[in-house]
Structure 1
Amino acid sequence: MSTLLYVASSPRGAASDSRALASVFLDAYQEAHREDRIVTLDLWEEPLPRFGPEGASAKMSVFGGEELTVEQKQAWEQARRYADQFASADKYLFSVPMWNLSIPYVLKQWIDIVTQPGITFAFEEARGYVPVLHGKKATAVYTSSVYYPGAPASYSRDFQSEYLKEWLHVTGVDDMTEIRFQPIYLSPNRDEDRAAALDTARDAGKSF
């Protein structure tokens, strides 16, 4: 039995296209993998801990092999709960709308919480970042209102999928599938594009 961790980062509920695509993916996945467990982490419902001064100093102390203070230990344990949840899953699904050319801030907050030394990444001076996670794979659902791959330079650049892909690479997750519904509002064939994206999500869920 495998565990799939679904990380949802859109606050728009039933109006969210990224959530709708993820839902179709999950239905197809569950039908094809009846023994697997799906864990949903809704970042807008989850009371994520504040990873501030104590958390940052705890991370650097762990990174440097130093003793933690009482305050640092508390912050570290709060972060470690989410980092362990991420590291222990076998597969990942992310629903990621584009916010201001990048990702929603709650997803960035979660990434900063789970990216911890010895749990999800390691670093060696001679080698750089060394993967900690092995044998895992991820699917990401990307939506955006106006940006699309191959768009003119005036539409800016993609700091959404490129960032998520590079972050996963640092942790050791390189088996990556992308599902895109882009652009949403500028598409002249929005209904057809949405239907095609839903079909892609359904097929990807079956084979994931």
Structure 2
Amino acid sequence: MNILVIKSSVFSDGGNSSALVNAKVEALKAAHPQATIVERDLGANPIPHLDGERVGAFFTPVEKRTAEQQQVDDFSMALIEELKAADQVVVGVPMYNFGIPSQLKSWIDHVARAGITFRYTENGPQGLIADKPVTVLAARGGLYAGTENDTVTPYIKLFFSFVGITSVEFVFAEGLNMGDETKAKAMDEAKAAIAQ
């Protein structure tokens, strides 16, 4: 059992989404003591945002790449291999200003690559990564799930399905900035859902 863990809170382990991730990982380790855990803390170790040079490296033929361009491609491919090798994926996703953290967007930008993790066909895009369970632990300051203001849930589902992964489950902890009592109740309920 290989488990890929992605934390995207700017507060690293201090974030609410990371606390939920840690609870999920502990539950998985209890069920699979021999599991291998690969963790990417994107707050502690941010992935560079895409720029012209990084995109240029992706599109430069291998035989024409500079050493620096090859390093960029190697880094992207390492992230892709981690996702491919995982039997399960756990992702912590806070909502910042109605969207995902830019750190997580950078990870997505290095993983979603035409011809590698998806391809375009006459029948539309086709994902190239085998389906696997993904648990998304979503932390929000307000109440967004099921409303038109929740841009995060459809975006995360779209990204994973685009690369071939459709078994995506969400656990929400909402209202975390609406008072201590509301926060405690939301976190307790989310952790109970994780335990099940």
Q: Same fold (TM over 0.5)?
A: yes
Residue in 2 that maps onto 1:162: 154
Q: Name the SS of the counterpart of 1:142 in structure 2.
A: strand
For these two proteins, the number of residue pairs brought into alignment is 194
Q: CA deviation at 1:55?
A: 2.2
Query: Take 2:12 and 2:113, find their aligned partners in 1: how far apart are those partners?
Result: 30
Aligned partner of 1:200 among 184, 189, 193:
193
- Choose which of 170, 177, 184 in structure 2 pairs with 1:185: 177
Is 2:126 the partner of 1:127? Answer: no
**What's 1:82 paired with?**
79
* Alpha-carbon shift at residue 31 of structure 1 (Å): 0.4
Q: Considering only aligned residues, what root-mean-square deviation do their CA atoms show, in Å?
A: 2.2
Contact residue 12 and residue 44 of structure 2 kept, 8 A: no
Residue 50 of structure 1, CA deviation: 5.1
1:142 matched to which residue of 2?
138
Correspondence list, 1:81-100, <5 A = 81-100=78-97
- The 1:77–1:193 alpha-carbon spacing in structure 2 relative to 1, beyond 3 Å, is closer
The 3 A distance-change label for structure 1 pair 177 and 78 is same
Instruction: Tell me how far apart the structure 1 counterparts of residues 114 and 194 of structure 2 sit (CA, whole Å).
Output: 33
Using the aligned pairs only, state the percent identity: 25
Q: Give the deviation of 1:92 after TM superposition.
A: 0.7
The answer to whether the 8 Å contact 1:6/1:94 transfers is: yes
- State the alpha-carbon separation in 2 of the partners of residues 185 and 112 from structure 1: 30
Deviation of 1:173 after TM superposition, in Å, equals 0.5
Query: What amino acid maps onto 2:187 in structure 1?
Result: R
CA change 1:77–1:15 in 2 (3 A) is closer
- Large movers: runs of 4+ above 4 Å: none
Map of 2:51 onto structure 1: 52
SS for the counterpart of 1:99 is: coil
Paired residue secondary structure (2:89) = strand
- Tell me if structure 2 keeps the 8 A contact 1:58–1:73: yes
What per-residue deviation string (whole Å, max 9, x for no partner) do you get for residues 108-148 of structure 1?
Answer: 01110122233321222x02211101131200000111132
Which letter maps to 1:12?
Answer: F
Contact kept, 8 Å, 1:54 with 1:75, in 2: the verdict is no
Q: TM-score, normalised by structure 1?
A: 0.83
Q: State the alpha-carbon separation in 1 of the partners of residues 178 and 46 from structure 2.
A: 35
Is this contact kept in 1: 2:80–2:111, CA < 8 A? yes
Alpha-carbon distance between aligned partners in 2 of 1:106 and 1:26, rounded to the nearest angstrom: 21
| Structure 2 residue ranges without an equivalent (≥5) | none
Distance in structure 2 (CA, Å) of the matches to 1:135 and 1:150: 25
CA–CA distance in structure 2, aligned partners of residues 47 and 164 of structure 1: 19
Instruction: Give 1:29 deviation, angstroms.
Output: 0.8
Deviation at residue 14 of structure 1 after TM alignment = 4.8
Q: CA deviation at 1:87?
A: 2.1
Q: Which residue does 1:206 correspond to in 2?
A: none
